[in-house]
Amino acid sequence: MGAFLPDYLTRAQLWVDILPVPIAAFVLAAFVAAIVKHEHSTFLHRFLAVAAFSLLGFVIGEMTGLSREPAVSATIGAVLGLLGGALAYLLGTKGPENQAFASAAVCVFVLSLFFGTSWGAALREDAEFYKRSAEYRERLELEDLKLRYWRAVNHIPDPAPAKTKDDGSSSP
């Protein structure tokens, strides 16, 4: 079975890192959908509406937390714009029951964004710690050795080493 699937889909650690995000999003959405009542909607309708906000928050948060780039400032600006626009519309045009539901959905989004960012940052820290480990360096050396062996067997010369600049960094 594993021969037909890409290698990354069969790694258990990948799923251990990814699955808590949708599970937490759905649990939070179910909790809020059960608490917040809306006159003309069923639990399923409330759950789906809140789950969309929850998943969006977790995914944006995790991507922001995983990022090594200064994405946080752009994300915060986009999130505040989304929330401000949505709340201005909903609070200005809908009745009190819809306003309470919209406020609950926004709270779920903000909580999900916070938890997703924390989760992504923790995953990034784990990855950076692993890249500094002896196990990682040994793995890289083994991969390099395999590549050199493959080149030798197939009579392919090693590529020329990259040129270095005066400051010691290599040029592309």
Q: How far is the C-alpha of 145 from the C-alpha of 137, rounded, in Å?
A: 12
| 120 neighbors 127 (Cβ within 8 angstroms) | no
Give the model confidence (pLDDT) of 3-14 as tens digits. Answer: 565 666 677 777
The residue behind tokens 């959405």 is: 29
Distances in Å between the Cα of 49 and the Cα atoms of 44, 78, 80, 154, 161 are 9, 20, 19, 57, 55
| 104 neighbors 97 (Cβ within 8 angstroms) | no
User: Per-residue pLDDT for 24 more than 60?
Assistant: yes
Mean pLDDT, residues 2-28 taken together: 75
Which of 87 and 108 is assigned the larger pLDDT? 108
User: Per-residue pLDDT for 136 more than 60?
Assistant: yes
Q: Which helix (H) or strand (E) holds 102?
A: helix 96-131
Torsion sign across C-alpha atoms 29, 36, 85, 89:
positive
Which of 69 and 117 is assigned the larger pLDDT? 117
Name the least confident of 48-57, 58-67, 94-103.
94-103
pLDDT tier for residue 27 given thresholds of 50, 70 and 90? very high
